[in-house]
């Protein structure tokens, strides 16, 4: 240990509560000061992870995020304020962390985490914390950590539920614990996994799960406690209940190289559906054509902005098919056109309807091309 790694008087005072912890003390705090942690994503999960790692005294933190702060982020991404809207998340996070703890080093990488740079980004760091929200990056971060021999702190959230685990952990026998592919060998069909913008997420949930990830990271770095290696914690904020599942290791699983993760997670091409553009819909409305408009979003979305169509949420589309005309031209729309296209496929499969058209680009395209005053979300 060099003089640079030793705690100065300001740090001794700052971390006094850690130093008083049995089994943690000076040794644990110095391990944190010498530690290097890379956090992928500075969003809902990354925000609490970064705050608690910086406050705990992790000496070197890297942040990978090329996204910018939006006002819709502020409901759950507690790193940011309204003044940060429009700025790179990684840069805004770096400023906030250094304001919180000037005794640490923080690097901001405003670039995508990709196959071409993953191993290079991971190399200088001891562990990786995954705060991302898409399957290609999850598989990429897992495989890169396996190849680089780094532990990966995993977390995910959706609606009221969250998951936490520690992958690729170095066990006492010198072997590595299970990784993400032991839990999920292949990605689920994208249509079964709506994003948080469509499915929603309780604002405090990423704070809870992200704090758990920070907790696991500190345990791995200091060697205290028992990390969630080989275990998956499931948390339900609605019932405030949790359970832990064991993750068996697949002895036949071998990761040899990084692959094309976008292609790996890509679904089979969906059956095409008939479409109308927002310009064509505008003409039909101006002409007062005999058409039927169906809005296949959720009620809260309808309350933000709508085109006057009959509201039928996706979960009710098949049960309420009797409300849909079999004779006139029926145009279905959602936020982007994805859910309405899937609704059309279901209606064609179950009822053979051939008079259904999807609004290309959905209500977002309408707001951008036809009515810029319409609220976007």
Q: Domain check: are 196 and 258 in the same one? A: yes
> Does residue 78 fall inside a structural domain?
yes
| pLDDT of 265 | 77
> Does residue 301 fall inside a structural domain?
yes
pLDDT digit string (tens) for 341-369? Answer: 999 999 998 999 999 999 999 999 999 99
Domain end: 230, 264, 298, which one? Answer: 264
pLDDT band at 375 (very low <50, low <70, confident <90, very high): confident
> Does residue 16 fall inside a structural domain?
no
pLDDT digit string (tens) for 250-293? Answer: 988 889 999 888 887 776 667 899 999 999 999 999 999 999 99
CA 331 centroid distance within chain: 32
Closest CA to 200 of 298, 346, 57, 68: 298
The domain that contains 135 carries what CATH number?
3.40.50.720
Instruction: Please state the domain count of the chain.
Output: 2
Q: Domain check: are 316 and 211 in the same one? A: no
User: Mean pLDDT, the chain, as a whole number?
Assistant: 91
> Does residue 143 fall inside a structural domain?
yes
Domain end: 264, 292, 312, which one? Answer: 264
pLDDT band at 199 (very low <50, low <70, confident <90, very high): low
Q: Domain check: are 280 and 214 in the same one? A: no
Q: Domain check: are 136 and 279 in the same one? A: no
Q: Domain check: are 146 and 226 in the same one? A: yes
Q: Domain check: are 95 and 242 in the same one? A: yes
Is the per-residue pLDDT at 92 higher than 80?
yes
> Does residue 50 fall inside a structural domain?
yes
Q: 63 to each of 90, 138, 207, 218, 319, how far by Cα in Å?
A: 6, 16, 17, 17, 46
CA distance 100 to 197: 30
pTM for this one? Answer: 0.75
Domain of residue 75, residue span: 35-264
Structure tokens at 265: 């997670």
Q: Domain check: are 307 and 256 in the same one? A: no
Is the per-residue pLDDT at 328 higher than 70?
yes
Which amino acids are annotated catalytic?
A: 196, 334
């Amino acid at each position: 240990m060099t003089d640079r790694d030793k705690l100065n008087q300001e740090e001794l005072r700052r971390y006094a509560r850690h130093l008083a912890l049995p089994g943690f003390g000076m040794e644990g705090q110095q391990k944190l000061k010498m530690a290097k942690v890379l956090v992928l994503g500075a969003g809902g999960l990354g925000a609490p992870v970064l705050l608690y790692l910086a406050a705990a005294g992790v000496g070197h933190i890297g942040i990978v995020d090329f996204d910018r702060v939006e006002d819709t982020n502020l409901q759950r991404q507690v790193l940011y304020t309204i003044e940060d809207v429009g700025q790179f998340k990684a840069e805004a996070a770096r400023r906030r962390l250094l304001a919180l703890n000037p005794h640490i080093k923080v690097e901001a990488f405003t670039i995508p985490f990709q196959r071409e740079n993953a191993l290079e980004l991971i190399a200088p760091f001891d562990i990786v914390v995954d705060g991302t929200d898409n399957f290609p990056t999850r598989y990429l971060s897992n495989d890169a950590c396996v190849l680089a021999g780094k532990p990966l702190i995993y977390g995910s959230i959706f609606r009221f539920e969250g998951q936490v685990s520690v992958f690729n952990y170095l066990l006492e026998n010198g072997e590595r614990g299970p990784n993400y592919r032991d839990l999920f060998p292949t990605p689920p069909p994208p249509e079964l996994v709506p994003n948080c913008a469509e499915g929603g997420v309780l604002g405090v949930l990423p704070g809870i799960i992200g704090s758990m990830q920070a907790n696991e990271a500190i345990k791995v770095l200091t060697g205290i406690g028992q990390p969630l290696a080989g275990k998956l914690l499931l948390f339900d904020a609605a019932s405030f209940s949790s359970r832990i599942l064991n993750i068996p290791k697949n002895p036949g699983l071998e990761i040899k190289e990084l692959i094309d993760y976008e292609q790996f997670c890509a679904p089979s091409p969906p059956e095409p559906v008939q479409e109308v553009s927002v310009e064509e819909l505008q003409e039909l409305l101006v002409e007062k054509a005999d058409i039927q408009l169906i809005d296949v979003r959720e009620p809260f979305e309808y309350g933000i902005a709508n085109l006057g169509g009959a509201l039928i949420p996706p979960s009710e589309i098949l049960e309420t098919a009797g409300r849909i005309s079999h004779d006139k031209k029926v145009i279905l729309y959602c936020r982007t056109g994805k859910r309405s296209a899937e609704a059309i496929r279901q209606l064609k499969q179950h009822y053979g309807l051939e008079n259904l058209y999807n609004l290309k680009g959905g209500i977002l395209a309408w707001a951008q091309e036809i009515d810029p005053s319409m609220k976007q979300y």
